[in-house]
Amino acid sequence: MRAFFAAFPKSDDLHRIESLTREVGAARPSRGIRWVSVENCHVTLRFMGTIDTAEVSALAELTRDVLAQRRPVACTATAMALWPSARRPRVLVLTLDSDGHLEALAERLNTALMGAGFGGPDKPFRAHLTLARLARAKIQLPDEPMSLALEFSRIGLFESVTRPEGAVYRQVFASRAHGGTVR
């Protein structure tokens, strides 16, 4: 299975993300822009690639303490950005500021995985939500500053199933945060 560790925003935050993408143009079909469905918006903490289903229980045991969150992780979406650059955009993202909490979570997860022989991550962690994938498309980003509060409460291992209409993410195992928010 093709798998990744991720944090998903609370369901009421998904509605606000959807409103934001609609403002930028997700409601208008455009060649070269493939919008991520709002229910698929997540922060990838660690891409695992193809793993054997027999490894799932070992991964669950290995990462149980790392993924156990007492509280949701609070973030602020600070900007929309084109990555890798505005001149050659491949993805439209929401950049996130979590006061280092998502970065620390990704680091603890990578340390546990590398200690168990899973190797290092394929690229450095950057806290963001991918909103769209771009293929030779132009998109106008909002000029005004952004400060959209989001909370991530479901953190775990997810399977990515590729379908012609787009990827479907299936929860393999996850923890749910309870109580106050980590700020």
3-state DSSP of 150-177: EEEEEEEEEEEECCCCCCEEEEEEEEEC
Residue 6 exposure: Cα atoms within 13 Å on the Cβ side: 22
Distance CA 122, CA 45 (A): 11
Q: In CATH, what number is assigned to the domain containing residue 118?
A: 3.90.1140.10
Distance CA 30, CA 171 (A): 31
Average pLDDT over residues 102-127: 95
Q: Evaluate if residue 181 carries a pLDDT over 60.
A: no
> Does some domain include residue 74?
yes
Q: Evaluate if residue 142 carries a pLDDT over 60.
A: yes
CA distances from 85 to 18, 67, 82, 97, 115 (A): 23, 32, 6, 19, 34
Total of domains in the chain? 1
Q: Look at residue 175 in the predicted model and tell me its pLDDT.
A: 85
Distance CA 94, CA 114 (A): 28
In eight-state DSSP terms, residue 182 is B
> Does some domain include residue 49?
yes
Mean pLDDT (the chain, rounded): 90
Distance CA 73, CA 180 (A): 9
> Does some domain include residue 182?
no
- How many whole angstroms from its chain centre is CA 102? 10
Q: Evaluate if residue 75 carries a pLDDT over 90.
A: yes
Could you list the residue range(s) of the whole structural domain that residue 28 is in? 2-176
The fraction of the chain above a pLDDT of 90, given in percent, is 68
Distance CA 64, CA 85 (A): 36
Tokens of 91: 């993805």
SS3 category, 77: strand
Q: What is the pTM of this model?
A: 0.91
> Does some domain include residue 76?
yes
Residues in the chain, how many?
Answer: 183
Number of CB atoms found within 10 A of residue 77's CB = 23
